[in-house]
Every structure is written in structure tokens, then in C-alpha cells.
Structure 1
Amino acid sequence: MSDHITQARPYARAAFELAREDKALDAWSAMLAEAARLTGDERIERLLVDPQRTPSDKGQVFVKLLDELLPNRGANFLMVLARQQRLPALASLSDLFEAERAEFERRVSVEITSAFELDEAQKDKLAQALKRRLNREITITTSVDKTLLGGVVIRAGDTVIDGSARGRLTRLSSILNH
């Protein structure tokens, strides 16, 4: 997978720039998400490794399957990916495109894990605090993990804020044992 990320990175940037130029971020997101989904289909996986099929044939399959979702320059982009044998990297490419888009739009998805179910007022209070701290628009998903004992663990991209009782006890134990 990391190889796919390395392969996908320059193409994700190029796709993002094309989408920005065309003011078609939603259309490109939709096309890339569906293309990524297609790469998980076992028939498409077989197609991608079939030595009897040319890169152009493989690209044309994607163009036909995505026909209704293709933004301006989308078909050409897929054909470039096919010629460069980068179609298997579409899932990584889609993820990287969405990360570029989120950065551009100054938004972040935040995952909050708490020891107990949060009510709407608590979620709103956390969202407002995170919006101020991260200077981004916030989308929150929540889950419950009773092993936290109390508090919350917040994940926003690469940032992790561990305010759980379990996390605090672990840090205290580490300090006392050193």
C-alpha cells in the first residue's frame, strides 16, 4: 500500500490542480471515489493484472464504467494513469486527493472516542473548541470505548489529544517508573 501512496502522490496533486482550475472539486471527488471503489472489485483486480490487456484497454474500461461521473478532463486523466500503469493506485490517489481538498477547504474530520456516550451539547462544545484550536471546519464522528474509564481521546488527522483517564494513568505510571 505504501508503494501505491508513493505512486499516487504526484497524480493526486495533478488531479487536485485540474479540479481546482475547473472549479469541479465535487465532480473529481466523486469520480475518484468511485474509481477507487472499482479497484476493489475482483473483476477489475483481474483486469488490472491481465497481461493480455493493454494499458489503453484497461483505461477504456474505467472510462466506460465511470462515464456518467467523468468531469472535464477526467477521461484523459484516467488514460494517463492507465498508460503509466497507475490504475491500481486509485484508492490511494483518491485518499490523497481528499486530503489535499480538506487542507484547501480548511476542514478536518475529527474522531472522538469517549468512555460514555456524548450528548449533543457536549459534542457541540467540543466541536467549537476544536474549531478554534485547529482553525478548521470540523466534522465529528464519535464512538464509545468503556476501557478509557473517563474523558476522551480526540484524533484529528495526525494530531491525537488523549484526555482519557486511562491515558493519564499510563503517563503517570511512566513517570513514576523512570
Structure 2
Amino acid sequence: MSSAVVAKRYAKALFEAAQEQGLLEQVEEELVTVDQMLGHTPELKKWLTHPTVDVKQKKEVLLKVSESMSTLTTNVLILLIERGREAVITDFVRSYQKLANEARGVAEAVVTTAVTLTEAEAAQLSQAFSKKMGKELRITNIVDPTIIGGVVVRIGDRLYDGSIKSKLDRFEQQLRQSHVS
């Protein structure tokens, strides 16, 4: 079974339990904290996913790290360790966030621009795409000077490409096709 499928199954189970207990936001914050800690401490992530490290040691470290977390979050993370699924923690967190966002009517948008968006521009983009998607948008801005200008918006599996680079590429392709004819 692929790690993405495993991560989604655990995330769905945790999501349903958190929803029943009214802990959606708290569990999401706790998972994001764990994910950030693993992202900022590659040595810890490497140690945690190493097959020769004893499960008991991994659980002890996790229990120390998760002292301030809900029992629900701690138990699921321990379950992942006991079942040898430590490597899916990041995918698990992303899957949980996606489920929580869907429940709240929120969509994550990655907006690529040639320069950093101002708050007003981000709000304007969010408002325009919120109407189109029927959901509130959370925007993450990525700066990529190679797109020259315009904007590329990715919401889930949808891509809206209004970059000047794309327009120039399409124009170049049309010119080549007209020369071939």
C-alpha cells in the first residue's frame, strides 16, 4: 500500500475522531507543530524514521515532545510509530489539513508571481478566486522571477496560468505552427 494511501487513512480516522470531540483546530495546530519540528530538525526526522532505532525509544521521545498535545494527537502519532509508519507523518499532516480545510470550506492556493504580492493584491486575488471556487482561500505566495509577470494560481489540482511567460510560450508556438503550414 502506498504511503499516500496510508497517510490518508490515518488522517481520515483522526479527522473523524477530532470532529466528534470538537478538536479539529487544536489537532491541526498540534500536527503542524510536529511537522514543522521534523522539517526544521532533519536529524530528528532521520532518527525517527531509521529502522534500527528501537520503537520504545521513538515512543519515549514522542511522549516528551507531545506533553502539551491532546491525547488524541499523541495516541495517533504513537500508533504510527508502533506500526512502522513514521515516514508518512508529513503526508499524514497534509491529508489531515486538507480534510479540515474542506470541513471549514477553505481551499489552499499557491500563487506564483514574479514579485511578492502586497496584502491588498493577495486579498483581491483571494476574493476573486473565492467566488469562483465557492470557498474561502488561504494564499501562499511563491516568488518566481522567471514567469516575468502575471500570476499562476494552483488550487488543489486546478491550475490557472496567467503568466506572461506562458503567454509568450503560446505565442511562440503559434508562430512556429504558422510557419510550418
- The TM-score by the shorter chain falls in which range? 0.7 to 0.9
Q: CA deviation at 1:148?
A: 2.8
2:47/2:53 contact within 8 Å kept: no
Q: CA deviation at 1:119?
A: 4.7
Q: Calculate the TM-score normalised by the size of structure 1.
A: 0.80
CA distance in 1, matches of 2:45, 2:113: 40
SS at 1:89's partner residue? helix
CA distance in 2, matches of 1:133, 1:151: 19
Tell me the equivalent position of 1:91.
90
Q: CA deviation at 1:66?
A: 0.6
1:9-158 superposed matches below 5 A: 9-40=8-39, 41=41, 42-43=43-44, 45-49=46-50, 51=52, 53=54, 55-69=55-69, 71-116=70-115, 118-158=117-157
Gaps of 5+ in 2: none
CA distance in 1, matches of 2:45, 2:168: 49
2:48/2:86 contact within 8 Å kept: no
The worse-fitting range, judged by mean Cα deviation, of 149-158 and 90-99 is 149-158
Q: Specify the code of the residue in structure 2 equivalent to 1:164.
A: S
Q: Specify the code of the residue in structure 1 equivalent to 2:18.
A: A
Gaps of 5+ in 1: none
CA distance in 2, matches of 1:23, 1:38: 25
Map Cα deviations across residues 73-121 of structure 1 (whole Å, 9 max, x no partner).
3333233222211123212211111111112211123233334555554
CA distance in 1, matches of 2:161, 2:53: 52
Q: Specify the code of the residue in structure 2 equivalent to 1:62.
A: L
Aligned identity (percent) is: 27
Q: CA deviation at 1:19?
A: 1.1
Aligned-pair Cα RMSD in Å: 2.7
Q: CA deviation at 1:14?
A: 0.9
CA distance in 1, matches of 2:19, 2:96: 11
